[in-house]
Amino acid sequence: MSFKPFNPPSRTLMGPGPSDVHPQVLQALAKPTVGHLDPTFIAMMDEVKALLQYAFQTDNPFTIAVSAPGSAGMETCFVNLMEPGEKVIVCRNGVFGERMRQNVERLGGEAIVVDDAWGTPVSVDKVAAALQQHPDAKFLAFVHAETSTGALSDAKALCALAQQHECLSIVDAVTSLGGVELRVDDWGIDAIYSGSQKCLSCVPGISPVSFSPKAVAKLEARQTPVPSWFLDQTLVMGYWSGTGKRSYHHTAPVNSLYALHESLRLLHEEGLENAWARHDRMHQKLKAGLEKLGLRFVVEQAHRLPQLNAVYLPQGVDDAEVRGQLLNRFNLEIGAGLGDLAGKAWRIGLMGYAAREENVTLCLGALEEVLS
């Protein structure tokens, strides 16, 4: 048996992620591989840290890229900061809030779940009540931008509540980083994680993470070992921190980090607030076209993510048939509904490099043709 080189089709990715990768990011992947302890690579890592601090809007010294996707970023926060028996207020308004709950319980913590309906933001009032009822809670965990529904929660208000109750906040910014306003220091976020494949328009497989000094102090004061060797940040710090020679921890994904460096450099070049505004402009154009087609949004306008547009299927339309035609006839990928929205909604992404006019035009024209 002989095998030919793999040549994937050229798709336009407008689902919930991965998003279209910027051509310059793809070029960065093809640069010569060097050793992960090479002085030139370590110098580039320092630039990645500085660029991530800009993207997160933080001065946190502990701001790194975990060598694994966003789900590992989630686990990095929980395994390092939470200890068995500790109580965590977990906000659940979609799939990824539920994953937070599972992390807490697998690690022996007590999850106090605050539920909100799918397609709505986390209720600040419900969280305030939960924190009053559980003054011994150590953490407040919530998803800033819920990828399963397209709902945006008020991270600033939620983190202010956590501070009032002397809780550490753990925030999922997988879909929000680079796409909507996010200010780690100004909002008092203690631990945050994201993913490379959404609004950063990088390849999948890397999770930016940042810990505040309070979060680092909690990690250093642990009474029990971090239950994951690979994700133990007390070990990883020696690889991402300090000047000169770094201590070996694992073989970093060298070329993927080249790609992340380039994607963050492009974000810095565009300007963070310009990127936020571009996502909103493209959302407004897509929204106008989708509403002309009679499609109804899952999330109310005030709480809607510009980069993740969830719309209900028209009555009598076959979900898989439409998405299959979009893929096969137009090389266009949009996402199916997830969890409670499976078979009921489509998720149309406008993330990073995908948030541009030609993509909006392609998507609206293709949908109109297939639905007619």
Residue 242 pLDDT exceeds 80: no
Confidence band of 244 (pLDDT split at 50, 70, 90)? low
* Topology of the domain covering 12-18+272-371: Aspartate Aminotransferase, domain 1 (3.90.1150)
CATH classification of 25-268 is 3.40.640.10, yes or no? yes
What is the model's pLDDT at position 319? 96
Confidence band of 247 (pLDDT split at 50, 70, 90)? confident
Q: Are 115 and 92 in contact (CB under 8 A)?
A: yes
What is the model's pLDDT at position 243? 63
DSSP state of 297: B
Residue 54 pLDDT exceeds 70: yes
CA dihedral defined by 361, 262, 54, 35, rounded to 10 degrees? 150
What is the model's pLDDT at position 238? 80
What is the model's pLDDT at position 226? 97
Q: pTM of whole model > 0.75? A: yes
Q: Are 68 and 205 in contact (CB under 8 A)?
A: yes
| CA distance to 64, 323, 330, 346, 365, per residue, from 287 (Å) | 35, 19, 20, 13, 13
d(CA 71, CA 352): 20
How many other CB atoms are there within 10 angstroms of residue 243's CB atom? 7
Please give the backbone phi and psi of residue 202, each rounded to the nearest 5 degrees, phi first: -110, 175
Confidence band of 237 (pLDDT split at 50, 70, 90)? confident
Confidence band of 236 (pLDDT split at 50, 70, 90)? confident
Mean per-residue pLDDT over the chain, rounded: 96
Helices (H) then strands (E): counts for the chain: 13, 14
| Local structure of 123: helix, strand or coil | coil
What is the model's pLDDT at position 239? 83
How many other CB atoms are there within 10 angstroms of residue 139's CB atom? 27
| CA distance to 52, 62, 138, 215, per residue, from 188 (Å) | 17, 15, 15, 11
The two structure tokens encoding residue 111: 């999850």
In terms of C-beta distances under 8 Å and separation of at least 24 residues, what long-range contacts does 28-34 make, across chains too?
28/255, 28/258, 28/259, 28/261, 28/262, 29/203, 29/255, 29/256, 29/258, 29/259, 30/255, 31/255, 31/258, 33/254, 33/255, 34/254
DSSP 195-227: -TTSTT---SS-EEEEE-HHHHHHHHT-SS--S
Residue 230 pLDDT exceeds 80: yes
Nearest CA-CA partner of 73 in 223, 205, 190, 254: 205
d(CA 230, CA 239): 12
The amino acid occupying position 262 is E
* pLDDT tens figures, 95-152: 999 999 999 999 999 999 999 999 999 999 999 999 999 999 999 999 999 999 999 9
In terms of C-beta distances under 8 Å and separation of at least 24 residues, what long-range contacts does 265-268 make, across chains too?
265/51, 266/22, 266/24, 266/25, 266/201, 267/51, 267/54, 267/55, 267/178, 267/200, 268/51, 268/54, 268/55
* pLDDT tens figures, 270-313: 999 999 999 999 999 999 999 999 999 999 999 999 999 999 99
Nearest CA-CA partner of 214 in 158, 153, 138, 132: 138
Domain boundaries, the chain: 12-18+272-371, 25-268
